Amino acid sequence: MAKSNYVPLFETKQVKGRVVFRCIAASIFLGICFIVMYRVMFFPVGGKAERWVWIGQFLSELWFCFYWFLTTVSRWNSVYRLPYIQRLSQRFEKELPGIDIFVCTADPLIEPPSMVVNTVLSVMAYDYPPEKLSIYLSDDGGSDLTFYAMLEAANFSKTWLPFCKKFRVEPTSPEAYFRTASEPLNDADNWLSVKVILIFV
């Protein structure tokens, strides 16, 4: 029995301009029909070379027609789906599976520790039940620099993660956020939180 408070996880909407697309497709189909009629009605009866060229052209045009038909059919009734991500956790929060995320790095010169740390912090700030989210860093190079960077990131995460959840920060990567974030609004809590975070950065 369906619940009365059931809400869909996505909304399906039709793509605009379908009528124009169908008119153009119909005109192309008409042109293809004329080409096929022309190839069949005016098949050369003369030299052998002319016939083989004619047959080759006709076969290539048939292949184009088949390809065009497949692509047109797939776009004939185009739709796009608008997902409501927040509803997923509301409906299935207790049933959501555990997720293991592996972040791989090998060379601290090619992949700077700051980039690795930003990736790990960004993943940790996902909107997902924290008890079901496990993040692993695989450092094939065994770099001490990456290790100490992760120790600092662990301390910084105690401030960064609550800040992300409280203010719904996007993007959740600290580097990207502080590069693109505009000046905080007249919100004392937000401004004080940013000041605390900047001390760690």
Residue numbers in the known binding site for UDP-alpha-D-glucose are 111, 140
**Residue 166: partners with Cβ closer than 8 Å, 6 or more residues away:** 193
Separation of alpha carbons 30 and 47, rounded Å: 30
Residue numbers in the known binding site are 111, 140
SS3 of 33, please? helix
H or E segment and range at residue 12: strand 10-14
Are 73 and 105 contacting, i.e. CB atoms less than 8 angstroms apart?
A: no
CB crowding 45-61: b at 16 or more within 10 Å, else e: eeeeeeeeeeeeebeee
